[in-house]
Structure 1
Amino acid sequence: MVRTLQIVQHLRPGGLEKLVLNLVRFASPHHHVYIASLEGNLSAAIKAWPELAMFKDKLIFLNKPQGVHLKTAYQLRKVIQEFNITTIHSHHLGPLLYSRLALIGLNRTHIHTEHDSWHLQDPKQKNMTRWLLKSKNIALVADAPSVAKDLQQLLGRAANHIIYNGIDCHFFCIGDQTQARHYLNLPQDGTFIGSAGRLVSEKGIDTMIHALSSLPAQYQLVVAGDGYESLNLKQLARQLGVAKRIHWLGYCEDMRYFYRAINVFCMPSRHEGLPLALLEAQASGKPIVATRIGAIPDFTYPDSSQLVLPDDPKQLSQALQHVITQNICEHKIAQFIQQFADVRTMTAAYEALGR
């Protein structure tokens, strides 16, 4: 019996966090998967993300204080031993650090996935990541070819494997737009641009709001997600006179309806790896306008996508108008994602590494 512990920094709604939940949800019968969150506690996490309640028996919270806290490594080591964990799977730098400390003297399989490379532009993070990955006992995984290329250039270490992030293409699929708009209490008329993710600076929603101000009045923006930039973004919308054209959904429990309700999905991010929302939107048949960063160019259907530079509202608005006025074949977009980014393929690939 393989017993894997996924280690993440926190369990707040986000692409990486949804990915590790799927590794629990789609695990094969002989594979037991748990998630250790360095930060937070169970009750607060479930309150912020109700979906976690169904996984509560698989979740472990270490409630790490701010900064480096060596006691957290000791707590993690105890979890590994008490749960008889055979495979550690860390995601990003913090979990990598605490995993290496917790595994000193223990013989366990260690998989580490890098989901982006932009954080390696910081010399401190780059040097620490390079040092922690020196061990030959770590299987390094990149989730996209562009990430693997950056890891080689920035760290001088080749990824051992490339495993694409996967989504549930049975769940995210083409559906009825009228029903979806009714479910979300959105108007039935109008052209809807959708953006989703944490409302933080790196997601570039402010660029989208600036772009909206130069688009025709029938264009409306639907935003799914929450974050510390929420109040600033709403103030910006009021200043630009577009507040009445933006629908703030906050945390959206069933994202299928969000993707089905919109006409085009926009990702104006300043930093990204391989965002799950990009895959989910296309699996739902939606064309993409996004920034040309990270792994986004690797996973956008070329016949219906427009890629732009970050922080360029004029280019973004022009790209949105171009895409919205084109004839789009939703089924071709969905098939593009289905052929390589299904969660079942991803889960099987990771499980093969942990045997």
Structure 2
Amino acid sequence: MKILHIINDLSKNGGAQRFLIDLVSHYDPHFEIKVLILSDENEYQAELKECGVQYLSWKSLTFQQKWNLLRWPDLVHGHLYPSIYLALLAIGKKRLQTEHNTTNRRRDYPMLKFMEYWLYKSFDMTICITGRVQEELIRFMPRYQSKYSVVYNGVELSKFTMQPKIRSAFAKDKVFKIGMAGRLHNYKDHESLLRAMQSLPQNYELHLAGGGPKQEELQALATSLGIEQRVHWYGVISDIPNFLNSLDVYVQSSLVEGFGLASVEAMASGLPVLGSDVPGLDEVIGDSRYLFPTGSPTLLADKILTITNDIDTYNEASRYSVERASLYTIDKFREGYYAAYAQLCPEK
């Protein structure tokens, strides 16, 4: 079966991009896979070459090459806007898209509703990354709910310790390292995390991995709060396991988070994980003790102190994380998608 994935870019700063790489890294020889990128940004070239997946840039193709490529596959798998609309040009092919978030900016504009009707009607299947993502999609576009299903994202658990960070005691002068990995943009809520730091004692540091358009604004906020000496900015990093192993507590502070892959990776590293109480992430974390309302830095600071002020509470949260992470394996994730491909193209 020939499968063409279409995505905006392959930056290491995005969760959907990482999702795609994890999906195509191992596959049955029965499948032939190509990846089409709308931009020229591809930071996963080595990984794609290693697994034998051909990648192409839309910008560098001639009109004839673009036509031939869209005629090549049996199935087109679209990721993100506007790539999902380009997938519609593969006329006569089976089409599948992944719904990565519980909402998007297009849903805020009634004038675009007819385009969304056309989109969901034209795709043979829409796979949501959590049950909450599916619920929100049904609420927005109930007409085509028979085409919606759920396949949870997965993590290569072998890359992480999968061991609780059990501690017997904390030193009185211990420096607690709080961390988060995620793109610095409007869907995240780094502001609440920075403001929470202002309420925490001086022996608490914040370590942020990821880059994005809001970096200067967030750095200015840290300075205005007087915490700039306790906030460390890493930019986009490739060694996520090493970054997570250096932390004591992980926080996923987001306004929108369909799944929260980084939070599962933190769980797999044995870290106590706190997350925003938003659809998708709440389902993945699965316990209200480790959730906090968005835009509530004081409550977030209280949650962090609750975990770090009591060794038994810390150890319990660490054990819970490892147990929870075991639900989201990379094998279940891949099996779900390749089963969907086979369902749409049973004779290929």
**Structure 1 residue identity aligned to 2:306:** H
2:116 is matched with which residue?
129
1:197-249 residue CA offsets vs partner (Å, 9 max, x unmatched): 11113211122111101101111101011111112211211221111111111
**TM-score normalised by L of structure 2:** 0.85
Cα distance in 1 for residues equivalent to 2:176 and 2:54: 41
Q: 5+ unaligned residues in a row in structure 1: which ranges?
A: 65-70, 178-187
2:345 is matched with which residue?
none
Cα distance in 2 for residues equivalent to 1:115 and 1:232: 26
Query: Structure 2 vs 1, CA of residues 333 and 151 (structure 1 numbering), >3 Å: closer, same or farther?
Result: same
Cα distance in 1 for residues equivalent to 2:114 and 2:253: 29
CA shift, 1:52, in A, is: 2.9
1:320 correspondence with 2:320: no
Q: Which of 84, 108, 113 is the equivalent residue of 1:96?
A: 84
CA shift, 1:337, in A, is: 1.8
**Matches of residues 1-355 of structure 1 in structure 2 within 5 Å?**
2-13=1-12, 14-38=14-38, 40-41=39-40, 45-46=41-42, 49=43, 51-56=44-49, 58-63=54-59, 76-81=66-71, 84-100=72-88, 102-104=89-91, 106=92, 108-119=93-104, 121-123=107-109, 124-135=111-122, 138-156=124-142, 157-158=144-145, 159-174=147-162, 189-302=174-287, 305-325=289-309, 326-329=313-316, 330-339=318-327, 341-355=328-342
| 2:256 alignment partner, SS class | coil
CA shift, 1:127, in A, is: 3.9
Cα distance in 1 for residues equivalent to 2:211 and 2:64: 33
Query: Structure 2 vs 1, CA of residues 75 and 131 (structure 1 numbering), >3 Å: closer, same or farther?
Result: farther
Cα distance in 2 for residues equivalent to 1:281 and 1:125: 37
Q: 5+ unaligned residues in a row in structure 2: which ranges?
A: 166-172, 343-348
User: What is the aligned-residue identity percentage?
Assistant: 24
CA contact (8 A) 1:175 1:284 kept: yes
**Structure 2 residue identity aligned to 1:319:** K
Give the superposed CA RMSD: 2.4
1:260-312 residue CA offsets vs partner (Å, 9 max, x unmatched): 11111111111221121121111112222221112011110428x52122122
Query: Structure 2 vs 1, CA of residues 21 and 201 (structure 1 numbering), >3 Å: closer, same or farther?
Result: same
CA contact (8 A) 2:260 2:284 kept: no
Number of residue pairs aligned between Structure 1 and Structure 2: 323
**Structure 1 residue identity aligned to 2:77:** H
2:168 is matched with which residue?
none
Query: Structure 2 vs 1, CA of residues 300 and 251 (structure 1 numbering), >3 Å: closer, same or farther?
Result: same
CA shift, 1:251, in A, is: 1.5
CA contact (8 A) 1:143 1:274 kept: yes
Cα distance in 2 for residues equivalent to 1:264 and 1:75: 49
CA shift, 1:324, in A, is: 2.5
1:114-133 residue CA offsets vs partner (Å, 9 max, x unmatched): 11122154134544222211
Query: Structure 2 vs 1, CA of residues 282 and 74 (structure 1 numbering), >3 Å: closer, same or farther?
Result: farther
**Structure 1 residue identity aligned to 2:2:** R
Cα distance in 2 for residues equivalent to 1:30 and 1:140: 23
Cα distance in 2 for residues equivalent to 1:76 and 1:163: 30
CA contact (8 A) 1:20 1:35 kept: no
CA shift, 1:109, in A, is: 2.1
CA contact (8 A) 2:277 2:293 kept: yes
CA contact (8 A) 1:33 1:58 kept: yes
CA contact (8 A) 1:73 1:98 kept: no
**Structure 1 residue identity aligned to 2:129:** D
1:305-331 residue CA offsets vs partner (Å, 9 max, x unmatched): 521221221122112212333232434
**Structure 2 residue identity aligned to 1:25:** S
